[in-house]
Structure 1
Amino acid sequence: MKTLLLKKEEVRGLIRMKEVIGTVEEAYKAFNSGQVIQPPYIGIDLPSHRGEIDFKLGYNQGNEMISMKASSGGFTGNPEQYGVPNGMGTVLLFDGMSGALVCVMDGSLLTGLRTGACGAVSVKALARKNASRITSIGTGNQARMQIRAIREVMKIEEIHAWDHHPETLARYKADMESEFGIPVLTANSKKEAVENADILITTTRGKGSLVEAPWIKPGTHIVAIGADAPGKQELDPQIFRGAKVVVDSIAQCVEKGETQHPINAKIMARGDIHAEIGEILLGRKPGRKNDEEVTIFDATGMAIQDNTTAAKIYRNAIENKVGAFFDFLE
């Protein structure tokens, strides 16, 4: 069995955001249908090199694929010292029935795509049907990816944005208005931005509360992306009081997600989590109850999302005869 090699630009041309939204929905449903084996992911912190690398591994009975993704970040000196990006990713796909390596692909785009898509999936399941204004706290690559995905599932009339750095905020406004033709209103404060949100997206690397509970208006849907490790935080834990809390994985979110903080503060218990999102997509639990409810989607990212998205890229590559084959066993 030969192995397919897919480089970054080849991967870029093999998948569209609408397809990624479908693969993420597939992943969540598989996870809550007992089709997934997904060990806890491993992270290695390398403070002496100002970087970290995570490894996520998953098996999906539905597509008979095993995936392993290595994803690095930080490494601030990389471009100058080594001529490589600060963050990189590699995905290995193995045939689930034989264990043979069938594909090696660049994974640097995949993580951003499937993380953006998870926000769109949550908007479909949990946001008000008449939601039209999005607020982004943080204006980096993932903030942009969230908009790219969410606009596939709803009409965005305006974007409100805030960032610590005025020059970054100005660049975000220019780029997003150019790409989508959607007006971007830059806020003078976090409070101002949040108070305008029908849908609030947080995509920072925060280590403290950025968004305060009194700023959240009834009916807001919150997509909490930034917290994916112990100690990371973007939301005031009081926001969770009385909200409908939905997560990608309970096991991950109570330890590494935004949900760790209200649980640690005794504002809520693990049992107060309404659902894993796959349960809502499968129709086992309800989504939004009314237009006044505050809903929170806490996403830490799961290997099964990498699995289904990488498998779709692989299938598209085979169908379109993209990539180069090699044989480890020769």
Structure 2
Amino acid sequence: MTTLLLTRNDVRGLTDMPAVIAAVEEAYRSFGDGKVDQPPYMGIHLSTPGAEIDFKAGYSRANELVSLKASSGGFRDNPDRHGVPNGMGTVMLFDGRSGALVCIMDGSLLTGLRTGAAGAISVRAMARPDARSLAVIGTGSQARMQVRAIREVMQIETIRAWGRSSANAAAFAVEIEGQFDIPVTLAGTAAEAAADADVVVTTTRASEVVLRPGSLKPGTHVVAIGTDQRGKRELDPELFRDAYVVVDSEAQCAEKGEVQHAIAAGIIEQAHAEIGQVLLGRRPGRTSAEQITIFDSTGMAIQDNVTAAAILALARERGVGMPFDFLTQTS
């Protein structure tokens, strides 16, 4: 059996946000239906200060593929010292029926795409149908991806954005306005950005609260993306007291997501639902127009699995990539 190698350029040419949203939505349903095996992910902190590599594995019985993604980050000196990005990703796909390695692909763009898709899925399932205004807290690459994905499911009329770096925030505004023709206003604080928004997305790497009680109007939907490890936080735990809380994985979010802090503070015992249960119609997405809803997303291996599977299928259809054979014997 041959293995297909897909480079970053290959993957970039094979990605399509609506297709990724559809794949991730189906993955959430499969997870909610118990058709996914997904062990806890493993993180290794390295000798370089702030650097780590995370490993996420998952098996989908629907597509009979096992995925393993390695994601590195925090290597701030990489571009200057080694000529490579400060964070990278690689995905391997194995045939669930034989165990054979069928594909190795660059996972850097894939991670951003499936995370953006997760936010969009929560907006479609949980935001008010008349939502039109978006606030973005954090103005990095994932903030851009969230806008790219959410505009597929919501008519965004205005964006208010805030980031710690004014230069990065200004660049974000120029790029979003140029690419999507959506007006972007830069706010002086995170609270100012969120004040009148229908949907608020948080995409920072903060370890301190950036969004506090009183900064959200009734009916707001919050997409909390940045917290995926113990100690990280973006939301004040008090925001959870009267909110309807949905997570991607209850076990994972209770340990590493935004809800870890609300649970530790005794404000909630657990989330109200997983997003897969909402999509399957087993739990509501929101119960009133005035309700504040929160989606806590830590990112799951099954998202990588189905997104990579969709990319692989398209690569085979178009004849993209470099095939090679690990098992070829030479004399």
TM bin (shorter chain): over 0.9
CA RMSD of aligned residues (A): 0.8
Q: Is the partner of 2:21 in helix, strand or coil? A: helix
Could you tell me which residue of structure 2 aligns to residue 301 of structure 1?
299
Q: Which amino acid is 1:306 matched to?
A: D
Could you tell me which residue of structure 2 aligns to residue 197 of structure 1?
197
Could you tell me which residue of structure 1 aligns to residue 253 of structure 2?
253
The answer on whether the counterparts of 1:117 and 1:146 sit within 8 Å (CA) in structure 2 is yes
Could you tell me which residue of structure 1 aligns to residue 308 of structure 2?
310
Could you tell me which residue of structure 2 aligns to residue 241 of structure 1?
241
* 1:117-155 residue CA offsets vs partner (Å, 9 max, x unmatched): 000000000000000000001000000000000000111
Q: Which amino acid is 2:177 matched to?
A: E
> 1 CA distance for matches of 2:47 and 2:216?
36
Summarize the alignment of residues 278-293 of structure 1 with structure 2, pairs less than 5 Å apart. Answer: 278-293=276-291
The answer on whether the counterparts of 1:199 and 1:220 sit within 8 Å (CA) in structure 2 is yes
Matched, 1:188 2:188: yes
The answer on whether the counterparts of 2:212 and 2:235 sit within 8 Å (CA) in structure 1 is yes
Could you tell me which residue of structure 2 aligns to residue 212 of structure 1?
212
Matched, 1:93 2:86: no
* 1:284-318 residue CA offsets vs partner (Å, 9 max, x unmatched): 11112221010000000000000000001011111
Could you tell me which residue of structure 1 aligns to residue 163 of structure 2?
163
Could you tell me which residue of structure 2 aligns to residue 58 of structure 1?
58
Deviation at 1:235, TM superposition (A): 0.4
Q: Is the partner of 2:208 in helix, strand or coil? A: strand
Matched, 1:326 2:324: yes
Deviation at 1:97, TM superposition (A): 0.3
The answer on whether the counterparts of 1:160 and 1:196 sit within 8 Å (CA) in structure 2 is no
Deviation at 1:189, TM superposition (A): 1.8
The answer on whether the counterparts of 2:5 and 2:105 sit within 8 Å (CA) in structure 1 is yes
Deviation at 1:192, TM superposition (A): 1.2
Q: Is the partner of 1:207 in helix, strand or coil? A: coil
Deviation at 1:281, TM superposition (A): 0.6
Aligned structure 1 segments of 4 or more residues deviating by more than 6 angstroms: none
Q: Is the partner of 2:315 in helix, strand or coil? A: helix
> 1 CA distance for matches of 2:269 and 2:283?
19
Listed as ranges, the gaps of 5+ residues in structure 1 are: none
Could you tell me which residue of structure 1 aligns to residue 11 of structure 2?
11
- TM-score, normalised on structure 2? 0.98
* 1:47-84 residue CA offsets vs partner (Å, 9 max, x unmatched): 53541110000000000000000000110111111111
- Aligned-pair identity in percent equals 59
Summarize the alignment of residues 80-159 of structure 1 with structure 2, pairs less than 5 Å apart. Answer: 80-159=80-159
